[in-house]
Amino acid sequence: MADKVRLGIIGLGAQGGLYARLISDGKVPNMVIGAIVDHDPAKRELAASTYPGVPVYEDFESVLDSGDVDAVVTTVPHYLHPEMGIAALSRGIHPLVEKPAGVYTKQVKELNEYAATKPELTFGIMFNQRNNPLYQRIKEIVEAGEIGKIRRTNWIITTWWRPQGYYEQSDWRATWGGEGGGVLVNQVPHQLDLLQWIAGVPKSVFAKVAYGFRRNIATEDEVTVVVDYGEGATGVLVTATHDLIGTDRFEILGDSGKIVVEGSKTAYVTRLSKTEQEISDSIGPDDVKKMFMGEMNLDSYQETETIEYDRPWGQQHAGVLENFAANILDGTPLLAPGSEGINGVRLANAIHLSSWLGEEVPLDLDEDRYLDELNKRIRDEGKFAERS
């Protein structure tokens, strides 16, 4: 099996089960299931019956020492991702951490710093939306300057509706000590990553966050954020888990055009013939009169392209797995380097801290203050140990 990576799947829940099916169905040609790990006896029994011949383990440490795996993917609660990533690296095993990379930047920094001491190992993160050809094309358009300098971004992403029963599946769900947050750390990390991957890292945020707004939970189920990119460019991000109808609309306004993405499936890219400022400066009083009388054709200054891509089930996840294995086998560049996972965690931390303090918070936030505030909430829950 020198041409295939043996992957240990840590946790046979929804995501771990998805990855196991993709690999067993041959959708990741350079990877096989090396082992499955789960502390739940029922899950281990399921793994043994569904994937005969695949070693099944009860604990993570055992599989790392087994010799059965070359790499692992951490489909476990968020707090464990950095810890497991470091443990794998320390034994010469390649880690693919699930999103988010962790709950707070101090722990993710530890993972990144340790990974940097093991350059011979592959360290990735499951940012499967980076493997979405639609967002890859949008990134190319923005980086090529086809819509000019970014002035504003707007993303409303409320397609995460979750009933109360979802939160009652496990006692760690939507808790500060068990999960580390709500929609920001569970549902929206992909958008937090894509926003920065495409539009750039904000300088600061000001957030209005509702905790247990429409669900009986401790963490956030509705978030509204104003981001400041600097030099006058701003953005708004809105997300929630109580919108049964749901909206997914991402807009990027540049000084030479605009991109509108609907449902993460279709993008409308409008390019201006000149910058907006140049067009404004070229229109005199007589033209303004014509404009208000409906006699001026502003469409002549713009042209719109529609971009659509099919998204077969599981293809994006399979692509990240295949790319991760290819990096291990032949050095193919990573789509989602693990070191970049800290960007989304930092943005989520800044949003939380802004709402807790009621003030604008820089992305270069005070990490100790964030952890102090997080631990206050963990203490108030009284269910889990504080974090360090």
Q: Averaged over 125-144, what is the pLDDT?
A: 96
Residues 204 and 229 in one domain: yes
Residues 294 and 220 in one domain: yes
Q: Averaged over 7-33, what is the pLDDT?
A: 96
In the chain, how many domains are there? Answer: 2
pLDDT digits (tens, 9 = 90+) for 356-373: 999 999 999 999 999 999
Residues 198 and 295 in one domain: yes
Confidence band, pLDDT 50/70/90 cuts, at residue 311: confident
Q: 171 lies in which domain range?
A: 133-309+344-381
CB of 174 closer than 8 Å to CB of 215: yes
Confidence at residue 170, expressed as pLDDT on a 0 to 100 scale: 86
In 126-138, which positions are buried (b, 16+ CB within 10 angstroms) versus exposed (e)? bbbbbbbebbeeb
Residue in 72, 102, 111, 107 with CA at minimum distance from that of residue 88: 72
Residues 217 and 349 in one domain: yes
Count of other CB atoms within 10 angstroms of residue 105: 22
Q: Is residue 388 part of a domain?
A: no
The stretches of the chain forming alpha helices (DSSP H) are: 14-24, 41-50, 60-64, 80-90, 105-116, 133-143, 164-167, 183-186, 189-199, 276-282, 285-292, 315-330, 341-357, 367-381
Q: Is 1's pLDDT higher than 80? A: no
Q: Averaged over 10-19, what is the pLDDT?
A: 95
| Percent of the chain whose predicted confidence (pLDDT) is above 90 | 93
Residues 152 and 265 in one domain: yes
Residues 92 and 228 in one domain: no
* Residue 77, preceding peptide bond in cis (omega within 30° of 0): no
Residues 201 and 68 in one domain: no
The mean pLDDT of the chain is 96
- The more confident residue out of 298 and 100 is 100
Q: Is 161's pLDDT higher than 90? A: yes
In 75-100, which positions are buried (b, 16+ CB within 10 angstroms) versus exposed (e)? bbbbbbbbbbbbbbbeeebbbbbbbb
Read off the CATH number of the domain in which 98 is found: 3.40.50.720
Confidence band, pLDDT 50/70/90 cuts, at residue 139: very high
Residues 237 and 372 in one domain: yes
Q: Averaged over 295-315, what is the pLDDT?
A: 88
Confidence at residue 355, expressed as pLDDT on a 0 to 100 scale: 98
CB of 257 closer than 8 Å to CB of 271: yes
Phi, psi of 316 (to 5 degrees): -65, -45
CA–CA gap between residue 115 and residue 121 (Å, rounded)? 8
Confidence at residue 274, expressed as pLDDT on a 0 to 100 scale: 96
pLDDT digits (tens, 9 = 90+) for 256-265: 999 999 999 9
Q: Is residue 387 part of a domain?
A: no
Residues 105 and 238 in one domain: no
Confidence band, pLDDT 50/70/90 cuts, at residue 291: confident
Confidence at residue 343, expressed as pLDDT on a 0 to 100 scale: 97
Q: Is residue 386 part of a domain?
A: no
Residue in the structure block whose two tokens are 């500060």: 176
CA–CA gap between residue 176 and residue 127 (Å, rounded)? 23
Residues 218 and 356 in one domain: yes
Instruction: Map residue 118 onto helix, strand or coil.
Output: coil
Confidence band, pLDDT 50/70/90 cuts, at residue 297: confident
Q: Is 298's pLDDT higher than 90? A: no
Confidence at residue 146, expressed as pLDDT on a 0 to 100 scale: 98
Q: Is 314's pLDDT higher than 90? A: no
In Å, how far are 74, 153, 162 from 12, measured between CA atoms?
10, 37, 21
Read off the CATH number of the domain in which 282 is found: 3.30.360.10
CB of 128 closer than 8 Å to CB of 317: yes
What are all long-range contacts of 256-264, with beta carbons under 8 Å and residues at least 24 apart? 256/145, 256/146, 256/147, 256/148, 256/149, 257/146, 257/147, 257/148, 257/302, 258/147, 259/138, 259/141, 259/142, 259/147, 261/134, 261/138, 264/129, 264/132, 264/134, 264/135
Confidence at residue 321, expressed as pLDDT on a 0 to 100 scale: 98
Side-chain-facing half-sphere of 348: CA atoms under 13 Å? 32
- Contacts (Cβ under 8 Å, ≥6 apart) of 269: 138, 141, 146, 147, 257, 258, 259, 304, 305, 306, 307
